Structure 1
Amino acid sequence: MAVSDENHPICSAKGCRTAAVWVLAWNNPKLHAPERRKTWLACEEHREHLSHFLGVRGFLKDVVALAEWEEPPGSATDR
């Protein structure tokens, strides 16, 4: 997970350095076991775009506020 100089997680959108406030949990069913969750982080501005990107591919499983996120066993954070 990428963090800013202030030690806050940052958005996974390309070139964005804004603090993340959302966790987008996803997996690629062709590559990952159904229970596995990879994560992207999103700021308010990029949440919809990143969710749509994952959603049209059938990868998006859940969108959770960063403050409420609990990483399930076997998950991975991707950028």
Structure 2
Amino acid sequence: MHWNNPKLHTPEYRKIWLACDDHRESLGTFLELRGFLREVTAFGAIS
């Protein structure tokens, strides 16, 4: 999950969190509700 806090980070800055299938939905919801989630990619797709 690629995310940033727009109050703290520039628009192009991204933090990356990994989540297993069991926690992907709850973590994604947590980030989305705060307006932080930018993109979700598969683990092997991160370059």
TM-score over 0.5 (shorter chain): yes
Report percent identity of matched pairs. Answer: 57
Task: Give yes or no for the alignment of 1:59 onto 2:36.
Answer: yes
Which of the numbers 43, 46, 51 marks the counterpart of 2:20? 43
Instruction: Provide structure 1 residue ranges, at least 5 long, that are not aligned to the other structure.
Output: 1-23, 71-79
Q: Which has the higher contact order (CA 8 A, sep 6+)?
A: 2
After the TM superposition, which segments of 4 or more aligned residues of structure 1 sit over 4 Å from their partners? none
Instruction: Provide structure 2 residue ranges, at least 5 long, that are not aligned to the other structure.
Output: none
Report matched runs for 1:1-79 at 5 Å.
Answer: 24-70=1-47
- d(CA) in 2 for partners of 1:51 and 1:42? 9
Query: How many residues in Structure 1 have an aligned counterpart in Structure 2?
Result: 47
Structure ranking higher in strand proportion = 1
Q: Secondary structure at the match of 2:23?
A: helix
Structure ranking higher in helix proportion = 2
CA RMSD of aligned residues (A): 0.5
Whose Rg is larger?
1
